[in-house]
Structure 1
């Protein structure tokens, strides 16, 4: 199936420097979208692009901002729309991870989880939705986590921040559905990114992710493999495409069956 509706669209991707975010940017560029790549560090886009490099470069702009900074979001969106036209797609990918028991979680870690994983989604989703409203069309996709709906030992605070992001996205989707704006969520499981490698730095930890860890009440991944960032990006592209035009308020789990989510 050939995806349609992405060529020529103006898209914004937060967390564009990360393993998943950079692949979302690369996939969108390959489909002919103009992409604003946003990150707290200068976004560097990974992956191979099709087509001549100068043509690709002209379709990607890089913007530096903290996702919880509402004023920065408005400034960036003003520049993006002036250069490329109305935003038709927002992909919230920016995220941070802090693990460990809740009773030893620092206030700083908790505030950062909420600021990036939750407030960032609120700031960018509402700012973009307001700009989409006059055009009565658009798509907002939040990359959350399968932990948002499945308890994980040592990840309760992260899961809470992602569960809030899911609820925000779907609640907004209900409010703007009559305006032709679709809001969906992609829930990855363990994905082979630098974030995962920092959390599970040794082969034994990765083996526990794949095959389960009874002491942590974790079943493992039924498909027996870690996701690659491109797997998550492909799911995002489908939900953004015309082929998903009748899909909204949906959470798509891309986790190899790890959450046993029906």
Structure 2
């Protein structure tokens, strides 16, 4: 129960990594509020939900205020809200670019901005932003997504330095492919049946040295570590949770 009585706000907590994190921290004693456009996929009476548009500053401010009022403060912020849009720089519309940046980057900025007073008051506040391995490397046709994740890593470094004297730590987790509704929706855009979607997700998993995609719960464990006192001297880092993806050389060497 390492999070016993700690107050946590998770943006994007209705599915995928965000929901897995909310459930894990709740199981370890935290008092959790999830902020998202839609309610979690499965009801959990221990997790409070507040409908939130992370791209709207007033909506995010209201969610932070709800978490602080509901649980008497705020100790941990997990910014997990994110979207994916495909396209190179040449064929990404300005509207698509702005939408990705609004959710992935502005959403994290708004959450941190409005959570910081309470996180400072906690005496040992922690911020964890959900980034991606694509902050470091990229596939084709994900210009906006890649740019947004690079921005999150840079933002976390800035937070770590600016808030160190206030006792607030900031880090990112950088997952590879994770079996989430967002990943499956992306796969479904290239397939014609559930079976084909499963096969495509499995093929993406084989690109990772461990041979599979991650489970949301595995990323949640990394988030929980960074948010906990076990990581009390870790700030400003980008932690890959990628099954070895960043460690491998992507070219075939001769026998």
Q: Same fold (TM over 0.5)?
A: yes
Look up the match of 2:253: none
1:93 matched to 2:87: no
Look up the match of 2:98: 111
Unpaired runs of at least 5, structure 2: 189-195, 249-255
1:165 matched to 2:167: no
Look up the match of 2:63: 76
How big is the shift at 1:204? 5.4
Distance 1:228-1:164 versus aligned 2 partners, 3 A rule: same
Structure 1 residue runs of 4+, over 6 Å off?
none
Look up the match of 1:151: 138
Please show how residues 1-262 of structure 1 align to structure 2 within 5 Å.
4=2, 6-45=3-42, 57=45, 59-201=46-188, 202=196, 205-211=200-206, 220-260=207-247
How big is the shift at 1:231? 0.5
Work out the CA distance in 2 between the residues paired with 1:43 and 1:204. Answer: 27
Give the 3-state SS of the residue equivalent to 1:186 in structure 2.
strand
Instruction: Give per-residue Cα distances to partners, 1:93-128, cap 9 Å, x unaligned.
Output: 000001133211122211110000000010001211
Instruction: Give per-residue Cα distances to partners, 1:158-197, cap 9 Å, x unaligned.
Output: 0101111111122111100111111010000001111111
How big is the shift at 1:200? 2.0
When the two chains are superposed, the root-mean-square deviation of aligned CA atoms in Å is 1.7
Is the Cα–Cα contact under 8 Å of residues 6 and 74 in structure 2 kept in the other structure? yes
Q: TM-score scaled to structure 1, two decimals?
A: 0.86
Instruction: Give per-residue Cα distances to partners, 1:200-252, cap 9 Å, x unaligned.
Output: 233553354233xxxxxxxx201111100000001111111111111111111
Is the Cα–Cα contact under 8 Å of residues 16 and 44 in structure 1 kept in the other structure? no
Q: Which moved more, 1:231-240 or 1:35-44?
A: 35-44
Q: TM-score scaled to structure 2, two decimals?
A: 0.88
Is the Cα–Cα contact under 8 Å of residues 204 and 212 in structure 2 kept in the other structure? no
Unpaired runs of at least 5, structure 1: 47-55, 212-219
Work out the CA distance in 2 between the residues paired with 1:114 and 1:179. Answer: 28
Look up the match of 2:192: none
Give the 3-state SS of the residue equivalent to 2:10 in structure 1.
strand
Is the Cα–Cα contact under 8 Å of residues 95 and 117 in structure 1 kept in the other structure? yes
Work out the CA distance in 2 between the residues paired with 1:157 and 1:83. Answer: 36
Work out the CA distance in 2 between the residues paired with 1:17 and 1:76. Answer: 14
Is the Cα–Cα contact under 8 Å of residues 96 and 117 in structure 1 kept in the other structure? yes
How big is the shift at 1:69? 1.7
